[in-house]
Structures are given as C-alpha cells and as structure tokens.
Amino acid sequence: MVNNEKPEITGVVKSNIWTNVYQVAQGTPDDATAEFEMWKNYYAIVGTWKGGEKVGSKVSITQTKAVTLGSKAPDASDVPGTTLNMSVIGSGAPSFDKTPAPSSAWNNAYEVDTGSDFTLDIATERNFFVGLASSPDGASSVPTATFKPEPGNQYQIQPVNTYYITFGSTFSVGQLLDVAKLSKKPLLVDFTVRGPTVTINHNPDGQLVIAK
C-alpha cells in the first residue's frame, strides 16, 4: 500500500488533514514484484466522507478539477497557479464554481477559496471535505489528502513528493488513513532525494528496505 505524505496547506485553522490510501497491490505472493507509479498530475477535489471523519472512512467525490501549480517563469517572475472557488448550494454537497477564478495560487501550489454559504457546523454535520488528488497512471485520479473546509477561507495547497509504503493489512484506495496508527511501521520514501525510481525489498524479517 502507498499513501502520500500530507501536502503543505496554508489556511487550515480548525481542521485535521487526512491522507488517503493512494495505491494498493493486493495478494502479492512471495518472490513477486509490485510496481507503483506516481505522476505529477494534480487535481482539486470536493465531496463528502462516507462514514464520517475517521480512519477507514471512504470518500465520495462530488467534483474533480485538474489544476496547474504556481511556478516561476524563465525571467524569475511568478506564474500563479489555479484558483478555484468552492460553494455549497442549499442542502447539497460542496462543489467548485463553474466560472473560473483569476489564478492567484502561490509557487508550487493551487488555491481553493471558500465562501460564506455554509458554516463549520454544517461542514461537520454533512462530512464535507476538500482536498488533493493525484494520478497513479497519468490519466485517472485518486484522492491523496482531504480536510474539512472552513467558511470564508483561502487554502494554498502544495503537494509534496514524499510517500509512505507499508504492507500486511487490507486497504481500499481512497480510504482515510492515520499513518501513526498503522499496524506495520511504514517506510518513508522522499523522491526529491532518491530520484525518479526507487527499488524496495521486503526482507524475510518483515522489514521494508530501500535497495537502490
């Protein structure tokens, strides 16, 4: 099982940031190989947690939007990333406005702005979430981090290129996860340090070890 490290998020005040199971290789026998790919294709997501805000709950995504992260131009000037406005209409789930907002996200981040059309109590009662999805194959998307939105806020969401890998339990893609409570200690892999390809061995003593 692979899950992403929590993104760096500016603007969160009263909400916990949850990671979600990103990829799973089920039923891998002895001497087999499991391969995982992580693409730098990112998406903003909104929806509701099925089962509440707790470990093991699933996500029900209302809307997915591809985003471009803020960057630096060749002349070192800022190129703002995607900005999305989140709204809640009536008793429905949260969604992104159809009308694009002017891009204003920081470098290496995208932005989600919330309005005053809901309260924190409503977000809690209805299990609203907003968050980040990443691509496991360059085409589809999978939620990798979610958190409860707060009204009248601006979130700068910066993905990180660090992942946890573990084994031994039954996981479902997208379910909420608390890395600190995993039964098997996960292996942390930072691709900004390791490079684009990492080989990991599952040793006879049950340990995951980076081979190269």
Tens digits of per-residue pLDDT, 27-72? 777 777 888 998 999 999 999 999 999 999 999 999 999 999 999 9
Cα–Cα distance between 204 and 125 in angstroms, integer?
Answer: 46
pTM for this entry? 0.92
The number of C-alpha atoms within 13 Å of 15 and in the hemisphere containing its C-beta is 26
pLDDT band at 138 (very low <50, low <70, confident <90, very high): very high
> CA 205 to CA 121: how far, in whole Å?
48
Query: Tens of pLDDT along 66-83?
Result: 999 999 999 999 999 999
d(Cα 153, Cα 109) in Å, to the nearest integer?
16
